[in-house]
Amino acid sequence: MLNVVILAAGMGKRMQSGLPKVLHPVAGRPMLGHVVDTARQLDPERIVIVVGHGAHDVQAAFSDQPDLIFVTQSPQQGTGHAVAQAMPQLQDGADRSTTLVLYGDVPLVQAATLRNLLSAADAGMAILTETVADPAGYGRILRDDAGKVTGIVEDKDATAQQRAITEINTGILAASTARLQNWLDRVDNNNAQGEYYLTDTVALAVADKVTIGVAQPGSPWETLGVNSRAQQAELERAWQQEQARRLLEQGVTLADPARFDLRGSLACGRDVFIDVGCVFEGQVQLADGVHVGPHCVLRDSVIGPSARIDAFSHIDQAHVGEQARVGPYARLRPGASLGREAQVGNFVEIKNTVLGAGSKASHLAYLGDATIGDRVNIGAGTITCNYDGVNKYRTIIGDDVFVGSDSQLVAPVTIGPGATIGAGTTLTRDAPEGQLTLSRAPQKTITGWTRPARKS
């Protein structure tokens, strides 16, 4: 039986922000959100989050997850004090359960690492340590001649010999819930800060002759914490480089792995190319042979095989069909769906619209709330007038229609298959199949007219 306690009470003064630190984003999501998601992968009985600064905002950010339990630490008297606030909320059967302690500002620790830590906690306690090149500022792991952990010494209290130790404490630990409660009851605040430290439970466990298990993270970035904007940016880049590495191993071509941002999940087929400066948010799927040009933003969308997304295009909750082409400078809004070999060109915006196979809107158009058939040509400057200020209406365009430039299609309106709409038409009634429909004032030429001259 597993309980997870996440410490998320800190103010984060160095962030220089009114937003609670754990709500600051990494990879497009609040840091605390990453920790909660990882905890869920371990299938715990309960997740208890200890909040303090900005407690109302933190709880509100996770109001869609009612199973989370929030407790408030006030006043904030150290990490041991914080965990003690959570103990009454932990699952019954404490003598048989394990408690895992995580941190809301250490967002990228992976589930595999935590599983290893839990396996190492069988004897009663395990700590997550890391071996680093520069351990300055971190608590050092003390071991005896047999290699058993005997305690943790803080950097400021360490001797010169102890400071040479490169194995550090990350703060993440797992322990028997019953024993952890006992050790927390015995922790005192006899230190310069007058706080109750969770790390003191390690020395108490050793005194009780409990063997301290150890696990180490799979990657150094897993235990990086965020206390400042600079550290937030550092962690963001570390995570994006990891995401890029995984995609490269899958066979995706990234024009520059250092200029790539994934803020969600990205599933790619074979022979996918992604140019520089692209941002992927939510859940995005790129099928075989997709080409994404530079500086595009794709959110919660599916791009079909061999489709091409050209530079500076924004695609949000849309579907792009096989061999379709989008952009440059195109915008597909929620509900846009492009058929096979459809084309959407520069400065075209499509919303809640189906654009059929082989149809194209190549320049400067707005198509909203429309169903457009196959092989339709939408001329430059065409708009569907779908909104009367209160309600929205749909435009229906049949197959093989040609809509001339600068036309306004005032919905609700239907254009029959094979119809032609003359340039400059304001269409307010249905257009019949196979016919030319236009609305245009008669053209006049006034003979003898001269331009006005500037008065002296």
Catalytic residues: 363
**Burial class of residue 154 (count of CB atoms within 10 Å of its CB; 0-12, 13-18, 19+):** middle
8 A C-beta contact, residue 304 and residue 286: no
DSSP, collapsed to helix, strand or coil, labels residue 180 as helix
Task: Tell me the pairing of strands 167-176 and 125-131.
Answer: antiparallel
CA-wise closest residue to 362 among 402, 420, 314: 402
CA-wise closest residue to 76 among 49, 51, 102, 47: 51
Q: Per-residue DSSP letters for 71-100?
A: EE-SS---HHHHHHHHGGGSPS-GGG-EEE
Entry field: residues in the chain: 456
d(CA 7, CA 106): 10
d(CA 195, CA 245): 41
CA-wise closest residue to 315 among 253, 257, 339, 329: 329
Task: Tell me the pairing of strands 278-286 and 297-299.
Answer: parallel
Q: What token pair was written down for 132?
A: 């680093």
Q: Which residue has the tokens 């001259």?
A: 453
